[in-house]
Structure 1
Amino acid sequence: MILVQEQHQLQQQQQQQQQQRGKVGDFVFSGDVISCQMFLGNYSKKQCYPNITYEKPQFNVPVLYEDDHVAVLNKPAGIAVYSDTRNSSGGKKQRRTIHFLLPFILIPPKKGTEGGILRRPGIVHRIDKPTSGILVIAKTKIAMQSLHEQFRTRKIQKIYTAIINGDIQQQVGENDNDNDRKEDLSCWNVIDYPLGGKYAITSWKLLRKVQSLNAKDGILSKIEIRLETGRYHQIRRHFSWLYRRPLVGDHLYAGLLQAHHFRSKGLYLCSNGISFHHPIMRNNDDANDETVIVEVTIDLPKRFDKLMNAEESWALYDHSC
């Protein structure tokens, strides 16, 4: 009896040694058995996507909106959307990204959902690692195609808020002929300046100015931004290169324009609003049966107003005392 058990254990060990996880480029020989494991990993959360083989990254991201086709997240600053394999050695640090977190925080679409369910959530667009704010995710193939097309045709409206190191001069648009509107800070200014050989258009308006002893021109400016195009680092390059007024905390494009006082505070840029057409949901009450427009807005991180208030208080303080 003992001999039979030992032989059985030996056979199991031999089978385990022969089994291996296949990789791209592996050879397949006659007699090999190829299998597919449909559910891997140990999960305490039932809503997690089933085809995940790694542990959950050690951070969370708020989900602002979610249905069977799309989801909207609030990405914190300092978290990358994708891992940079050129500068990463792999492992848990490489997995500290939105891409690896998505299957753990989103609910898989219901069985039978139309449009082709994706095996894992798909990221529709990116925002920079130091930028915080809204990120749109697709959960079905039809949603991915629809959202990509909306970005391509610029039907998606995105709103950013930034703090600029310097005094930004509010200008009146070409169509604003009314003199009373020249003092109106709500009018939009347009930057039409090519980047990388491609046209790039950024619209902005001034929200608030405060005095600052550490800022260029002695002024910090908070502005609202709308992008007509989506070029690489468009906002940061437009204001740093064209206006010579970089975003506070911008290490990459500020150079000597950035005061040392602001270099350790992080980038003050937030994507705080978005609107897009839902790929599936439609307005039954509408005679044209048009798709539902999804609008999502978030409050700015508290550090934006905290910085503005602190700089203004220090500038107005009587330093002669």
Structure 2
Amino acid sequence: MKKNITIPVLETPTRLDKFLTKELVDISRTYIQQAIRDGKVTVNDKPIAPHYFLKTGDIIKLNLTAPKTPIVKPDKKVKFNIIAQTDDFLVIDKPEGLVVHPAPGINESTLIDGLLALYPDIRSVGDDPTRPGIVHRLDRDVSGIMVVARSQNMFNNLKKQFKDRTIHKEYTALVTGEVQQPSGRIDFPLARSKSQHGKIAARPRGHDGDAAITEFTVIKKFSHQTLLNITILTGRTHQIRAHLAAFGYPLLGDKIYKPNKGKMTKKINRLFLHAHTLEFTDLAGRPQKFTSPLPKNLSDYLATLS
């Protein structure tokens, strides 16, 4: 699709990605955002960020290929643990290696496929038919706790809680290197890497990028490695991985962010990052707190360090 759009007088400031989502009703916002990052959308003949605020008279140029619609299909073979279930939400324990939802280039069954096999009512929940009920996600390589909406009211409620940053999430992480300070905050802005596809880059403060805040506390130090408890106040793609790498202590087993950084005494065949705690409120305003124990392969690895 090749198309030029001249922006008329705007009554309120409008982001580029949100404007195009309303303009191109058959294309998802996720696809539009990626197309902008890939340079397939320009404003006044210049590459621009998805969060750019349009001005009257701006000229948007589109050069898009029609996206392939990911296939969602119930699959009983997808394995995951159910921690809790109500009529409004599910709390699940996602194993490492399982993709949360289908996307272009994903040719395997996903968590969504497994959920639909057990809870077909979820299909009508949400704002994207390829990711029904999903209000947040974990990377394929990350294990741990997630909440999935079973009703539209709960979906809207959880989305608002994430937007307002009232949901509390904690992770266990093992990093290479010995972190000296007992606790700290990392707040580098994050943006898509311009040189490496699929990688998130931490930007110096004051530069373009999405605000991101990661807090950590040292649990235990080992020789050349440190066990951390991580709390994130924002939920950016690869936030913990990119922040820790920029801080100088990349996650153990990370094949994307400085995988050879630091001296390692033992090998591990997965990313050492596990979402262990999730807190939110239900539709009645009651606080809900759920936890997930460290997977055996991670606890076994820690035992070799003690």
Q: TM-score range by the shorter chain?
A: 0.5 to 0.7
Post-superposition CA distance 1:79-132 (Å, at most 9, x none): 00023322x4x4xxx2x21011112233749xxxxxxx6398511111100000
Matches within 5 A, 1:293-308: 293-308=287-302
Post-superposition CA distance 1:11-67 (Å, at most 9, x none): xxxxxxxxxxxxx9xxxxxxxxxxxxxxxxxxxxxxxxxxx9955242321111111
User: What secondary structure, in the 3-state scheme, does the structure 2 residue paired with 1:237 have?
Assistant: helix
2:190 aligned partner: 195
Judged with a 3 Å threshold, the aligned counterparts in structure 2 of structure 1 residues 308 and 118 are, in CA distance, closer, same or farther, namely closer
1:77 aligned partner: 96
1:252 aligned partner: 256
Q: Is the Cα contact below 8 Å between 2:74 and 2:116 reproduced in 1? A: no
Aligned length: 216
User: What secondary structure, in the 3-state scheme, does the structure 1 residue paired with 2:172 have?
Assistant: strand
Q: Is 1:68 the counterpart of 2:92 in the alignment? A: no
Q: CA RMSD in A?
A: 2.6
Of structures 1 and 2, the larger Rg is shown by 1
Letter in 2 for 1:83: P
Given candidates 227, 241, 255, the residue that maps to 1:222 is 227
Matches within 5 A, 1:111-190: 118=125, 121-171=132-182, 188-190=183-185
Judged with a 3 Å threshold, the aligned counterparts in structure 2 of structure 1 residues 139 and 74 are, in CA distance, closer, same or farther, namely same
Query: Normalising to structure 1: TM-score of the pair?
Result: 0.61
Cα shift at 1:259: 5.8
- Inter-partner Cα distance in structure 2 for 1:250 and 1:221: 15
- Inter-partner Cα distance in structure 2 for 1:99 and 1:265: 25
- Inter-partner Cα distance in structure 1 for 2:286 and 2:156: 17
- Inter-partner Cα distance in structure 2 for 1:53 and 1:79: 15
User: What secondary structure, in the 3-state scheme, does the structure 2 residue paired with 1:257 have?
Assistant: coil
Q: Is 1:266 the counterpart of 2:260 in the alignment? A: no
Cα shift at 1:192: 1.9
- Inter-partner Cα distance in structure 2 for 1:145 and 1:206: 35
Unaligned runs of 5+ in 1: 1-23, 25-51, 110-116, 172-187, 212-218, 283-290, 313-321
- Inter-partner Cα distance in structure 2 for 1:78 and 1:258: 25
Judged with a 3 Å threshold, the aligned counterparts in structure 2 of structure 1 residues 198 and 85 are, in CA distance, closer, same or farther, namely closer
User: What secondary structure, in the 3-state scheme, does the structure 2 residue paired with 1:83 have?
Assistant: coil
User: What secondary structure, in the 3-state scheme, does the structure 2 residue paired with 1:226 have?
Assistant: strand
2:244 aligned partner: 239
- Inter-partner Cα distance in structure 2 for 1:105 and 1:57: 7
User: What secondary structure, in the 3-state scheme, does the structure 2 residue paired with 1:129 have?
Assistant: coil
Q: Is the Cα contact below 8 Å between 2:279 and 2:288 reproduced in 1? A: yes
1:43 aligned partner: none
User: What secondary structure, in the 3-state scheme, does the structure 1 residue paired with 2:211 have?
Assistant: coil
Q: Is the Cα contact below 8 Å between 2:72 and 2:112 reproduced in 1? A: no
Judged with a 3 Å threshold, the aligned counterparts in structure 2 of structure 1 residues 311 and 53 are, in CA distance, closer, same or farther, namely closer
Letter in 2 for 1:195: L
Letter in 1 for 2:75: K
* Identical aligned residues as a percent: 29
Cα shift at 1:258: 5.8
Post-superposition CA distance 1:159-218 (Å, at most 9, x none): 1111111101124xxxxxxxxxxxxxxxx421122112122111110111122xxxxxxx
